[in-house]
Amino acid sequence: MALDDTKKTRDFKVVGTRPDRPDGIDKVTGRARFGADMVLPGMLTGRILRSPHAHARIKRIDTSKAEALSGVKAVVTRADFGEVPADVADVMDNCMAGDKALYDGHAVAAVAASSPAVARKALKLIEVEYEVLPHVTDVDEAIKPDAPVLHEGRQQETVPGGMSANVIARSEFGHGDIEVGLKQADRVVERSYRTAATHQGYIEPHACLATMGPDGKADLWVCTQGHYMVRNTCAAILGMEQGQLRVTASEIGGGFGGKTVVFLEPVALMLARKSGRPVKMVMSRSEVLRATGPTSSTSIDVKIGMTKEGRITAGFAELRYQGGAYPGSPVDMGAMSGFAPYDLENVKTVGWDVVTNRPKAAAYRAPGAPMAAFAIESAIDEAARGFGLDPLEVRLMNGADEGTKASYGPTYPAIGLKATLEAAKSHPHWSAPLGENQGRGVACGFWFNFGGDTCVSLNITPDGTVTVSEGNPDIGGSRASMTMMAAEELGIPYDQVRTIIADTGSLGQNEVTDGSRVTFAVGLATIKAARAAKTEMCRRAAMVWGIDEEAVEWEDGAARPAGPNAGKFPPMTLKEIAAIASNTGGPIAGHHEVNAEGAGVSFATHMVDVELDPDTGSTKILRYTVFQDAGKAVHPSYVEGQFQGGAVQGIGWALNEEYIYGKDGILQNAGFLDYRIPVASDLPMIDTVILEIPNPGHPYGVRGVGETSIVPPLAAIANAVSAAAGVRMTQLPMSPPRVLAALQAQADG
């Protein structure tokens, strides 16, 4: 459904306002039920035994002593699952190791017991005989020909012969001729960059509660970004029919991409199947960090050619992302997105997907893009500053626009990159003075956004209020957005609509809440469902008035005769039509099911001021402003929150967060004391500027906003720190020791 061409200058009444969030009261009063809040009579505690080795062959597991312990009701190892379909084989192996443990924290067995204490004791009674193998956790080490190999036979046909089996795939994108472009340049910047693995850092750990009856019918309550994905994956792993497993999504305490896969859920179901009792599993923070998806750590080489006027003549990047223990790092997304903000004649990126002895990387908000942007935007900044050019002007000069052939292939329709740059240039932040040891950085970012399978059911109650059922967990305000779009379309007040997240038995298939898809795709389905209900209500009014249904239109929450020839009848409101629904044919509802395609790409520009402490190397964020195209901001406060959240997570990624592995391959900082995410006292207020360049693929012009905001911060902060330090920072995080070392190296000449 394209942007409404019937009302190009639509005068929104609800969309664009800032009503109270529907989940606010529940969350501040503690009434909201998160993953760990569900309880059932007779419930057991499930716990996982995890590998203490980074890489080890599992020679033997003896669970007999654990099984004999009083209070233990079930013990599960990989042998309980048997063969699983190929498309879930890696997921299965990540949930419960097979022949080998592939990383520190890899699950090897699980128990269900009558209490947490008994479960802990039972884990200690499980005997695992390991043959410890050499390991590798660094991406550059893993690609060496003599590196320890995790898997044989997984390399794709895209990888040239002779490379380590840890190199799984190669991809290449771009157009033009890099060598020709470099020859046209007055300056070539060539640098290597590294970023650390970081965790999504959601506050709520993974948790679920599983039950399964003797007839094989099962229920699962879980905190997830996609309960339909959980259903389908678990059903495949456990050999169940999807219709026999009903999954209900709990309230969710953050996901950011990390809850788009399963970890505990198949194990909890297997424990429930074996024990015949409900089984609840809740991860500790240490388990979350050791065994759920962080993002990739990366190693990236960049070459940028630029004329003295600031025109980029060539852009090249070679990106190596380690995706943890299984294939599938987001290097393709990095390779496709890094140069996407620019209109370049000669551009090429090469991506390498590499496995290492780390937990399997999971999606993290615009997966793969922030690291690529860090490297490429740093090199562009260095080239511009080398000529004494304004880095914003250089980006405007080279910025992509409608008609630009993107670095990843397509030609852009109307896009908002230059609008964000112009807004940044005219913002007071850009011209504010800086003090000693302070620096300012800017960077641009891009994300694709997408749609996918979506179902919405909209029901008119007898009293004329409205319920909307959608199938995507609300991780960023979607209940408010759907409520607003339904109210807008029906012409009724916001508080007359309530949106709920339905379980998997109540709607058809819904894609995971990811890809910044929900406001776009579920919003589109909500609008269509509301329009279906309006059509039906117009038909009911026509019946009452005794006129053709085509002679009735819907306006301001009521059916009305479409014109003077239709007859003179007073408007019939939604409430009036609902009250007589039984008399006019029965209940009234609208629904819509669609694979929503046509999501619009999104761009952002970030600007940040920092101050360095030359004695400690610590960095303070002084001021931060986000400029981003939202297409149409349905609820501006949530849009601003997405902008701010992306910036804050980017600040953590840039300055502090880092998976640190010892030489033994063991994670050294598996807790929030040693893995430091930003807290409120670290941060200034993040200012936001919303641009609205409508997406022609959505009736209200909506674009996704949840991911783009984490793409520019790494580079923007690196550019600011580099400006303040007078030395180019090429490795993240820019932690105090690293900044201090750079300052010292510069002082030493």
Partner 1 sequence: MVEVVLWGSLADQAEGARKVEIKAATLRELLDGLGEKFPGLRPELKRGVSVSIDGRIYNDSWFQPIAPDSEVVLLKRLKGG
The helix-helix angle for 369-386 and 713-725 (nearest 10°) equals 40
State which H helix or E strand residue 730 sits in: none
Determine, following the binding rule CB under 8 A, whether residue 699 of this chain makes contact with partner 1.
no
649 to 17, 370, 681, 700: CA distances (angstroms): 26, 11, 14, 29
| DSSP strand pairing (686-691 vs 619-629) | parallel
Question: Given the rule CB under 8 A, which of 170-178, 278-286, 391-399, 605-613 is the region that contacts partner 1?
Answer: 170-178
Which of 675, 660, 668, 662 is CA-nearest to residue 135? 662
Tokens describing residue 384: 């511009």
Give, as ranges, the residues between 301 and 320 that touch partner 1 (CB under 8 A).
none
Question: Given the rule CB under 8 A, which of 68-76, 378-386, 590-598, 610-618 is the region that contacts partner 1?
Answer: 590-598
Min dist. Cβ of residue 34 to partner 1 (A): 20
Tokens describing residue 592: 């819509």
Residues 71, 598, 614, 636: which binds partner 1 (CB under 8 A)?
Answer: 598
Question: Given the rule CB under 8 A, which of 116-124, 390-398, 462-470, 509-517 is the region that contacts partner 1?
Answer: 509-517
Determine, following the binding rule CB under 8 A, whether residue 257 of this chain makes contact with partner 1.
yes
Nearest-angstrom CA–CA distance, 734 and 743: 12
Nearest-angstrom CA–CA distance, 699 and 520: 9
Min dist. Cβ of residue 359 to partner 1 (A): 16
Task: Output the CA angle 201-203-206, nearest 5 degrees.
Answer: 90
Determine, following the binding rule CB under 8 A, whether residue 85 of this chain makes contact with partner 1.
no
- What residues are paired with 48 via a beta bridge? 110
CB-based contact 557:541 (threshold 8 Å): no
Determine, following the binding rule CB under 8 A, whether residue 597 of this chain makes contact with partner 1.
yes
- Whichever of 287 and 332 has its CB closer to partner 1, that residue is 332
Give, as ranges, the residues between 444 and 503 that touch partner 1 (CB under 8 A).
448-452
Give, as ranges, the residues between 35 and 54 that touch partner 1 (CB under 8 A).
none
Min dist. Cβ of residue 714 to partner 1 (A): 15
Residues 1, 16, 40, 171: which binds partner 1 (CB under 8 A)?
Answer: 171
Q: How many CA atoms lie within 13 A of 469 on its CB side?
A: 20
- Whichever of 247 and 336 has its CB closer to partner 1, that residue is 336
Nearest-angstrom CA–CA distance, 483 and 474: 12
Determine, following the binding rule CB under 8 A, whether residue 697 of this chain makes contact with partner 1.
yes
Residues 235, 336, 397, 630: which binds partner 1 (CB under 8 A)?
Answer: 336
Residues 198, 472, 516, 644: which binds partner 1 (CB under 8 A)?
Answer: 516
Contact letters for partner 1, residues 190-229 (x by CB under 8 A) = ----------x-----------------------------
Determine, following the binding rule CB under 8 A, whether residue 158 of this chain makes contact with partner 1.
yes
User: Cα 4 to the chain's mean position, in Å?
Assistant: 28
Determine, following the binding rule CB under 8 A, whether residue 595 of this chain makes contact with partner 1.
yes
Determine, following the binding rule CB under 8 A, whether residue 321 of this chain makes contact with partner 1.
no
- Whichever of 123 and 711 has its CB closer to partner 1, that residue is 711
Determine, following the binding rule CB under 8 A, whether residue 326 of this chain makes contact with partner 1.
no
451 Cβ contact list (under 8 Å, min separation 6): 511, 515, 517, 520, 521, 524, 595, 596, 597, 598, 599
Residues 59, 120, 134, 156: which binds partner 1 (CB under 8 A)?
Answer: 156
- Whichever of 260 and 619 has its CB closer to partner 1, that residue is 260
Residue 393 CB neighbour total at 10 angstroms: 13
Min dist. Cβ of residue 598 to partner 1 (A): 5
**How many helical (H) and strand (E) elements, i.e. helices and strands, does the chain have?**
20, 26
Buried b (16+ CB within 10 A) or exposed e, 451-484: bbbbbbbbbbeeebbbbbbbbbbbbbbbbbbbbb
Give, as ranges, the residues between 600 and 659 that touch partner 1 (CB under 8 A).
none
**Positions in the binding site for partner 1 (CB under 8 A):** 156-158, 170-174, 200, 256-258, 260, 330, 332-333, 336, 348, 350, 362-367, 408-413, 448-452, 514-517, 595, 597-599, 697, 707
